[in-house]
């Protein structure tokens, strides 16, 4: 697979990445196993994707798609063979196309370059720039092939918003307006994408779990009937599911301290 | 068939369509059902005029398809997202719980839908079926009753008792006015004031089954079908598949997607700097790439490779539009090549984005002065002066501009003096041309008789004129094409120039047209509205026919004659005869105006006075010119009926000439609109004058009739 990426472009990207100790975070601890190191790397790269997404003005769903593409790609291949940041850039580019929010490679490269070299001048229109561009485009093809061109996913976002509206109607409107349940659950959902939990659980389950956690955080009382609200929203979910997802999510927040 | 739609069509087309319909759709049972209804009204054709028989027949034949109810798109049920029935229903919340929750949560301004179950003299009671807005709950089986008191029922037109409009079992949509939570009483109202601002547009009152809210109909379906789960309803709804429902709902809920919330410490929005964002970086990058191209271009320029330099500048402007350096460099290149106007545009654009750019200012001053010099040579002294002033305004210390301004001011003063002298000489001549004035009077009398005898000939005259017009059109085209460029330039650099001399023409004694003053002040005082005077004007104009002949070709032909013709036209309106000799008069009047205009802008005024001496009694040349002009005035004459706007004259003129290209026509239109706008400065006295002439002529016509 490496033959699709020219030596020049790989070099360019590693130059982009700067010194190994730079943005890639704290040096690896000896006690870290390979897998922990990998998880940390993935966390950092996903953080990179999300930051870039904000700076590019990407909506939540394309950012989610980019992260899912990234996770799925590295589920099959090793992180040592492919430069993860390059893959991330290509995933962003591809996600923009899939979710109909087209991004220009020039903008992606500009933002990424500045991410690694803060307060630097924008790149000149020279060989390095074109090399980078070439590598992004080549890698995009690589990602597509690796994923067998299955690049369209169902995301929790749509479900979450509908569930929000339905639950909102159960609760007293003043109580609802006092509590930022919508912002919190949206934040929780976005933060899910730092780890692989986003690909390990069904979208409806993730949506319910984030909503559940948000309501729990603020102590919002939801009326109870024969069935719980979350049971109604999705037939096949159980309390254990919800708890598992919540614990995964909380684990991600713990990781933040370790990785950045 | 859709009755209302049919009614609308019939009222537009009229009774003839109805007849067609009856004939074509006689077999159609739907039509037969509503035919008696439709025939009650008689239909007048709305926009009287064309008889669209073919279209009406088409409508009649296809009426059964056109007005079929199934053709109406069911846009009502398309929702941007999936509207779900109340969750309570799925959760099977207990009766008590729901009832309590409803009384706790229902507020003033919510909308309820219910059925009237009893009408009393103090109001009516409604059994609530569902919520219609503001709150979404499942209340049908709660069997709540709400009261709508009499004072909250709006009166319905002629009914004395508003309650008589309502009947048992009517579906009502009402707003909640008051809740007594303790006693569990709800008061509703049909007054629109009871609703909150976001629900104001909903109509309260009697309601139809079809308009029940979507969540209610879905909830009914769910109630009736045990297999319907929330998921199934959600995924079965069309709004669910809308790709932009996420965006829509985010907007509805009020969460921002561009500054998204996060619980991660590192992703808090305050950590994001503006200069790290893609758009900012891109701008900086474009500016620097463009600058590179400009540098290369300047190199080319210095080595004399102007074409490559221009290419580089254009490339730079493609990368970064409105890049200041690129604009300044390109402007300099244009100025060097001689396209001064393009250079000026570029400099001005550059100064817009960066008003303190030294080079831009400097170059702009220089270019303006140069352009001014060019205009001076073309004898457009006033425009040139405007440019010099502009250059000085930009840069006070610019020596060249100051000198040029002084020079041009002197020139203008000189030309003014010359014109004064010439005008004085003209005034003297007024006394010497009795003979031609007499001749004209005679001709005028003849015309009156002619008009009196055959008024119907006006139309044929028009045709003749049109014919003549078209044959003259070629000539006009030639002339106008020659003057296109100068006219175009005039249009582009239309700095406030002095008003034209058309009004000054009338005031022979004080015909000093000071370009910096309005004509009104001089003219209004001295316009005696007498026919005799106007005759003398005409005669004067005939004097100066010939000299202008030579100048015709040089004039910005299209602009000035329209002004002249406009005022001429007024006179013609009065005359109504608009025959050859009147035209001649008017033609010569126009020439006179041109002459004045020329005098104001050239310093060769003395030439005019000399020539006028020569051609005083040269009638053949006069008539030659006047026939040449006939076609112009003819157009005006033929189209003059009552009050018409100046612009119209201009456009009709351009319309009339079949042989003209459309560009010429638009130029004419422009010229005439310039003329027309100038025309507005004509004092009302002039209008009075002409209307008096008109009246006088009319009287003359009337008398012989009697």
Give the β-pairing of B205-206 and B185-189: unpaired
Q: How far apart, in whole angstroms, are the C-alpha atoms of residue B189 and residue B179?
A: 12
Residue A256 is nearest to which of B234, B264, B282, comparing CB atoms? Answer: B264
pTM beyond 0.80, yes or no:
no
Average pLDDT over residues B268-289: 90
What DSSP letter does each residue of A180-207 carry, written as one string? -HHHHHHHHHHHGGGSTHHHHS-HHHHH
Model confidence at A82, in pLDDT bands (50, 70, 90)?
very high
* pLDDT of B617 strictly over 60: no
Residue A28 has a pLDDT of 54
Q: Does A175 touch chain B (CB under 8 A)?
A: no
List the beta bridge partners of residue B174: B112
Quickly tell me which residue has 């996903």 as its tokens. Answer: A46
Average pLDDT, chain A: 87
Structure-block tokens of residue A141? 């093809």
> What local confidence, expressed as pLDDT, does residue B136 receive?
85
**pLDDT for the residue B275:** 86
Condensed to tens digits (0 to 9), the pLDDT of residues A131-173 reads: 999 999 999 999 999 999 999 999 999 999 999 999 998 898 8
Residue B304 Ramachandran class (φ > 0 left, ψ -120 to 50 alpha, else beta): left
Owner of token pair 């250059």: B391
B143 vs B457 pLDDT, higher one: B143
Which residue among B253, B262, B266 places its CB closest to the CB of A182? B253
Residues of B in contact with A60 (CB under 8 A): 246, 257, 260
Q: Which chain B residues are Cβ-neighbours of A100 within 8 angstroms?
A: 243
Taking CA atoms, B530 is separated from B55, B350, B560, in Å, by 58, 57, 25
> b/e string for A27-60 if b means 16 or more Cβ within 10 A?
eeeeeeeeeeebbbbbbbbbbbbbbbbbbbebbb
* pLDDT reported for residue B259: 85
d(CA A128, CA B215): 58
CA distance, residue A146 to nearest chain B CA (Å): 26
Specify the 3-state DSSP secondary structure of B17. helix
CA–CA separation, B138 vs B88, rounded Å?
Answer: 6
Measured in angstroms, the CA of B203 and the nearest CA of chain A are apart by 23
Q: Is A185 helix (H, G, I), strand (E, B) or coil?
A: helix
Query: Is pLDDT larger for residue A39 or for residue B596?
Result: A39
Query: How far does A56 lie from chain B, in Å, by closest CA?
Result: 5
Q: Does A219 touch chain B (CB under 8 A)?
A: no
Q: Are strands B145-149 and B185-189 parallel, antiparallel or unpaired?
A: parallel
**pLDDT band per the 50, 70, 90 thresholds, residue B646:** very low
Average pLDDT score over residue span B465-480: 45
Of residues A183 and A3, more confidence is placed in A183
Taken in order A143, A144, A146, A147, the sign of the CA dihedral is positive
d(CA A114, CA B279): 13
Q: Which residue has the higher pLDDT, A17 or B90?
A: B90
**Residue A219, C-beta contacts closer than 8 angstroms, at least 6 positions apart:** none
- Does the pLDDT of residue B295 top 80, yes or no? yes
Residues 6+ apart with CB under 8 A from B612: B425, B426, B429, B543, B544, B546, B547
Residue A128 scores a pLDDT above 70: yes
Distance CA(A64)–CA(A68), nearest Å, equals: 6
User: Tokens in use for B159?
Assistant: 């009914």
CA B152 → CA B117, B122, B180, B624, distances in Å?
A: 17, 10, 17, 86
Strand partners, B115: B127, B171
Return the SS3 of B183: coil
A-B CB pairs within 8 A amount to 173
Which of A67-76, A124-133, B557-566 is predicted least confidently?
B557-566
pLDDT score, position B138: 87
Smallest Cβ–Cβ distance between B87 and the set A170, A184, A194 belongs to A170
Calculate mean pLDDT across residues B229-235. Answer: 89
Interface test with B, best of A232, A237, A256 (most B CBs within 10 A): A232
Helix (H) or strand (E) holding B117: strand B111-120
| Cβ atoms of residues B609 and B425 within 8 Å | yes
A253 touches B at CB < 8 Å = yes
A100 has pLDDT over 90: yes
Each residue's pLDDT tens digit, B90-140: 888 888 888 888 888 888 888 889 999 988 888 889 999 888 888 888 888
Q: Is the alpha carbon torsion for A31, A36, A38, A39 positive or negative?
A: negative
Residue B505, pLDDT > 50, answer no
Nearest by CB to residue A182, choosing from B81, B255, B285, is B255
pLDDT at B376: 81
Distance CA A215, CA A180 (A): 10
Query: Can you spell out the DSSP letters for B623-653?
Result: HHHHHHHHHHHHHHHHH--SS--HHHHHHHH
Closest to B266 (Cβ–Cβ): which among A47, A57, A61?
A47
Q: Specify whether the CB–CB gap between B146 and B124 falls below 8 A.
A: no
A11 touches chain B (CB under 8 A): no
Check if A220 contacts B (Cβ < 8 Å).
no
The partner residues of B126 in beta bridges, in order of sequence, read B116, B146
B272 close contact with A: CB closer than 8 A: yes
Inter-CA distances, B489 with B371, B492, B493, Å: 12, 5, 6
Q: What is the pLDDT of residues B661-695, one digit of tens each?
A: 444 434 444 444 444 444 455 556 777 877 888 78
| Residue A14: pLDDT band with limits 50, 70, 90 | low
Question: Given CB atoms, is A116 within the 8 Å cutoff of chain B?
Answer: no
- On the 0-12 / 13-18 / 19+ scale of CB atoms within 10 A, A193 is buried
Average pLDDT, chain B: 70
Answer yes or no: are the C-beta atoms of A99 and A229 closer than 8 Å: no
The more confidently predicted of residues A31 and B568 is A31
Average pLDDT over residues B272-286: 91
Which of the pair, A51 or B2, is modelled with greater confidence?
A51
């Amino acid at each position: 697979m490496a033959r699709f990426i020219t030596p020049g472009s790989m070099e360019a990207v590693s130059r982009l990445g700067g010194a190994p100790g730079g943005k890639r975070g704290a040096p690896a601890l000896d006690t870290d196993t390979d897998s922990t190191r990998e998880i940390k790397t993935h966390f950092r790269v996903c953080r990179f994707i999300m930051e870039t997404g904000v700076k590019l003005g990407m909506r939540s769903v394309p950012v989610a798609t980019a992260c899912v593409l990234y996770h799925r790609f590295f589920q099959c291949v090793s992180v040592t063979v492919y430069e993860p940041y390059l893959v991330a850039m290509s995933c962003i580019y591809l996600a923009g196309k899939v979710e109909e929010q087209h991004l220009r490679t020039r903008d992606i490269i500009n933002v990424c370059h500045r991410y690694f070299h803060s307060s630097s001048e924008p790149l000149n229109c020279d060989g390095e720039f074109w090399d980078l561009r070439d590598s992004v485009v080549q890698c995009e093809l690589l990602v597509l092939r690796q994923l067998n061109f299955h690049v369209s996913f169902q995301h929790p976002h749509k479900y979450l918003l509908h569930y929000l509206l339905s639950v909102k109607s159960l609760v007293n409107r003043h109580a609802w307006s006092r509590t930022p349940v919508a912002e919190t659950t949206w934040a929780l959902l976005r933060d899910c994408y730092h780890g692989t939990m986003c690909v390990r659980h069904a979208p409806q389950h993730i949506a319910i779990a984030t909503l559940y956690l948000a309501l729990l955080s603020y102590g919002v009382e939801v009326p109870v009937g024969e069935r719980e609200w979350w049971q109604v929203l999705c037939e096949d979910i159980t309390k254990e599911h919800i708890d598992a997802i919540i614990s995964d999510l909380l684990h991600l927040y713990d990781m933040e301290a370790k990785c950045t | 068939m859709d009755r209302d739609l049919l009614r609308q069509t019939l009222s537009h087309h009229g009774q003839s369509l109805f007849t067609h319909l009856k004939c074509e759709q006689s077999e159609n049972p739907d039509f037969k059902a509503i035919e008696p209804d439709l025939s009650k009204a008689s239909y007048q054709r709305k926009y009287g005029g064309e008889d669209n028989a073919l279209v009406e027949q088409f409508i009649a034949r296809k009426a059964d398809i056109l007005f079929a109810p199934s053709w109406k798109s069911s846009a009502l049920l398309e929702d941007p997202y999936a509207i779900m029935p109340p969750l309570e229903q799925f959760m099977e919340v207990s009766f008590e719980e729901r009832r309590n929750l409803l009384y706790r949560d229902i507020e003033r301004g919510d909308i309820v839908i219910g059925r009237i179950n009893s009408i009393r003299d103090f109001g009516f009671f409604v059994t609530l079926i569902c919520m219609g807005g503001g709150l979404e709950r499942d209340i049908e089986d709660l069997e709540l009753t709400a009261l709508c008191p009499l004072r909250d029922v709006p009166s319905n037109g002629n009914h004395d008792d508003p309650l008589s409009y309502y009947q048992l079992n009517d579906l009502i949509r009402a707003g909640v006015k008051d809740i007594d939570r303790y006693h569990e009483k709800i008061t509703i109202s049909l007054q629109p004031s009871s609703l909150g601002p976001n629900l104001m547009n909903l109509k309260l009152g009697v309601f139809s089954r079809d308009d029940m809210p979507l969540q209610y109909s879905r909830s009914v379906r769910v109630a009736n079908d045990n297999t319907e789960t929330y998921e199934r309803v959600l995924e079965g709804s069309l709004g669910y598949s809308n790709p932009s429902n996420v965006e829509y709902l985010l907007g509805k809920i009020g969460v921002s997607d561009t500054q998204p919330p996060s619980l991660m410490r590192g992703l808090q929005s305050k950590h994001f700097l503006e200069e790290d964002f893609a758009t900012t970086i891109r701008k900086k990058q474009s500016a620097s790439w463009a600058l590179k191209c400009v540098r290369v271009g300047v190199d080319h320029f210095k080595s004399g490779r102007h074409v490559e330099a221009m290419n580089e500048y254009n490339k730079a402007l493609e990368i970064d539009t409105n890049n200041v350096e690129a604009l300044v460099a390109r402007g300099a290149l244009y100025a060097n090549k001689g396209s001064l106007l393009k250079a000026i545009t570029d400099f001005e654009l550059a100064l817009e984005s960066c008003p303190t750019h030294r080079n831009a200012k400097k170059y702009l001053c220089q270019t303006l002065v140069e352009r001014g010099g060019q205009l001076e040579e073309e004898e457009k002294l006033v425009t040139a002066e405007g440019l010099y002033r502009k250059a000085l305004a930009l840069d006070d210390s610019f020596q060249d501009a100051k000198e040029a301004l002084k020079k041009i001011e002197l020139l203008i003063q000189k030309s003014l003096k010359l014109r004064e002298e010439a005008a004085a000489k003209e005034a003297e001549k007024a006394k010497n041309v009795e003979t031609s004035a007499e001749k004209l009077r005679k001709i005028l009398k003849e015309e009156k008789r002619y008009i009196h005898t055959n008024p119907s000939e006006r139309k044929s005259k028009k045709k003749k004129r049109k014919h003549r017009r078209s044959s003259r059109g070629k000539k006009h085209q030639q002339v106008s094409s020659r003057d296109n460029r100068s006219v175009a330039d005039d249009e582009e650099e239309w700095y406030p120039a002095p008003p034209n001399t058309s009004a000054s023409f009338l005031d022979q004694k004080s015909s000093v047209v000071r370009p910096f003053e309005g004509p009104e002040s001089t003219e209004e005082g001295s316009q005696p509205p007498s026919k005799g005077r106007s005759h003398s004007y005409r005669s004067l104009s005939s004097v100066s026919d010939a000299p202008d002949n030579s100048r015709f070709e040089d004039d910005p032909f299209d602009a000035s004659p329209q002004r002249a013709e406009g005022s001429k036209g007024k006179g013609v309106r009065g005359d109504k005869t608009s025959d050859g000799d009147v035209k001649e008069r008017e033609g010569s009047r126009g020439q006179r105006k041109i002459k004045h205009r020329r005098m104001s802008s050239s310093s060769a005024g003395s030439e005019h006075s000399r020539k006028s001496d020569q051609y005083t009694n040269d009638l053949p040349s006069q008539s030659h010119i006047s026939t040449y002009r006939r076609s112009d005035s003819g157009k005006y004459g033929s189209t003059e009926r009552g009050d018409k706007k100046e612009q119209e004259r201009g456009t009709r003129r351009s319309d009339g000439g079949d042989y003209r290209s459309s560009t010429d026509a638009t130029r004419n239109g422009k010229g005439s609109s310039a003329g027309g706008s100038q025309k507005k400065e004509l004092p009302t006295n002039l209008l009075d004058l002409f209307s008096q002439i008109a009246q006088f002529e009319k009287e003359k016509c009337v008398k012989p009739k009697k």
